[in-house]
Chain A
Amino acid sequence: MSEIPSTVGEAELQAWVDGRLDAARRAHVDAWLEARPEEAERLSAYRAARDQLHAQYDAVLDEPVPAALLQRAGPGSGRWRAAAAVAGWIVLGAAVGGVAGWELRAERAGAPAAQSDMPILAHRAALAHATYAPEVRHPVEVGADQEPHLIAWLSKRLGGNVKAPQLGAEGLALVGGRLLPRDPGPVAQFMYQNAQGQRVTLYVRTEAPDQRETAFRYARDGNVRVFYWIDRKFGYALSSSDLERDELLRLANVVYRQLNP
């Protein structure tokens, strides 16, 4: 750009920080900033603060929702049921109530036995999928362009050799991955996307050493379909709300074979 614009308003700078300018305006502001290193530094600090906000609080998204909150949403709440009826959302009340009951059962069981822990794997994977798959701007923490770093980082945090399956032959490109906090030990989520923008996530958690291998199991949580299994050191869950069950099963087989060469 030959001509450096003289004025850019603060509101436009904020929109630049938030990545909400169209390409033309962004180029305009980029040029403006090039001539003003102090402003550029200030704005990059704003961007860093935004990343730090996510680093600090995104962990909340993967915490199990306390039963008390789900109960509040459950069919036990008479007012809620009445409101749902008015809004024609009884199906919603039933769905929330179903989850509430499910969480309560899990809680009563105390420390869940290995096998009864399996549905939790599916449920949390589905929740993590539902949370991150729709994200346009922050779908992953580390992008596929830094795949070696991503793998090394997740392997270190999970305490084992984590691998991201290559699904290019299935038309799915790795978008990247993220670390989600979990007790005990963190879990990893890899995200894949096909040319139509449909997304699939692979959720990987560390299993107890005495955990046995399992066959594929299938669960459906809302509109998220999940195939999940345990294989040696790790539990895996492959989730998608875009792909049909048969296609997801086919992919789960591909993933399983790649992880067990």
Chain B
Amino acid sequence: MSDARSLIALIPRLRRYARALVGDRAAADDLVQDTLERAWSKLHLFRQGTDLRAWLFTVMHNVHVNRVRSARPTDALDDEMPELAQRATQGDALLVRDLERGIAALPAPQREVLLLVALEDLSYEQAAEVLGIPIGTVMSRLARAREKLRILMYGKGGTKLQVVK
């Protein structure tokens, strides 16, 4: 049955997103584990015929936000504050060549949007639904995430790309 197949096939997707989101492998699998557990307990809320993957990302987003909040109660998931802090360090020629570090340096809300769209290929509408934000916010976070990552990885104005393979 295709539902079963798609769910099993979705665990690797959840793991990929989680790995990029939190970086560390063990922490990422913890997040997936909590997400699956929560998903099973909320499965009756899933509407058949809608996108199971987007629904699972929604569950993961909520689990992740709760974990981040409880780990750092004073660190609000604010768009602007961490960004200002990052801007201040750019002058120190902080060139993060490493993609992982570049991703990690993004404010969490921007990182989520970028990964859902560019890595997980969710539509802008789906990303907005997953994150519970207006689509306009998705677009502005996406633009900021990309520009910040570009500067972190390639330096201001630089676009010389590393060859990966």
Contact = CB atoms under 8 A, between A and B. Distances in A.
Contacts of A79: 37, 40-41
Contacts of B36: 69, 72-73
Interface stretch (B62-70, B75-83, B85-93, B113-121): B113-121
B118 A50 contact: yes
B153 to A, nearest CB: 7
B159 A130 contact: no
B16 interface: yes
A66 to B, nearest CB: 6
Contacts of B43: 80, 83-84, 86-87, 89
B84 interface: no
A65 B16 CA distance: 11
Contacts of B20: 53, 56-57
Contact of A45 (B41, B46, B99, B161): B161
B12 A55 contact: no
B159 A42 contact: yes
Say whether chain A's binding surface is mostly helix, strand, loop, or mixed. Answer: helix
Contacts of A77: 37, 40
B3 A89 contact: yes
Given A49-B150, A91-B1, A138-B121, A63 B40 contact: no
A131 interface: yes
Given A48-B161, A52-B164, A55-B165, A61 B13 contact: yes
Interface string B91-102: 000000001100
Contacts of A147: none
Contacts of A50: 118-119
B147 to A, nearest CB: 8
Interface in B138-165: 139-140, 142-143, 146-147, 149-150, 153-154, 159, 161-162, 164-165
Interface string A3-31: 00000001101110110100000000000
A17 B100 contact: no
A42 B147 CA distance: 8
Given A14-B143, A65-B15, A57 B119 contact: yes
A141 B123 CA distance: 21
B75 to A, nearest CB: 25
B29 A69 contact: yes
A96 B150 contact: no
B133 interface: no
Contacts, number: 152
B72 interface: no
Counting chain A residues whose Cβ lies within 8 A of the other chain, the interface size class is 35 or more
Interface in A124-140: 127, 130-131, 137-138
B139 A11 contact: yes
B5 A222 contact: yes
B21 to A, nearest CB: 10
Contact of A57 (B5, B16, B42, B140): B16
A115 interface: no
21 contacts: A20-B124, A42-B159, A45-B154, A52-B164, A53-B118, A56-B100, A57-B19, A61-B13, A66-B29, A68-B29, A68-B33, A69-B15, A72-B40, A79-B37, A83-B40, A92-B3, A95-B1, A95-B5, A130-B5, A131-B13, A241-B5
Interface of B: 1-5, 7-9, 11-13, 15-16, 19-20, 29, 32-33, 36-37, 40-44, 46, 48, 99-100, 103, 115, 117-119, 121, 123-124, 136, 139-140, 142-143, 146-147, 149-150, 153-154, 159, 161-162, 164-165
Given A14-B143, A96-B4, 11 more contacts: A15-B124, A48-B161, A49-B149, A56-B20, A57-B119, A68-B33, A83-B43, A86-B44, A87-B48, A130-B5, A241-B5
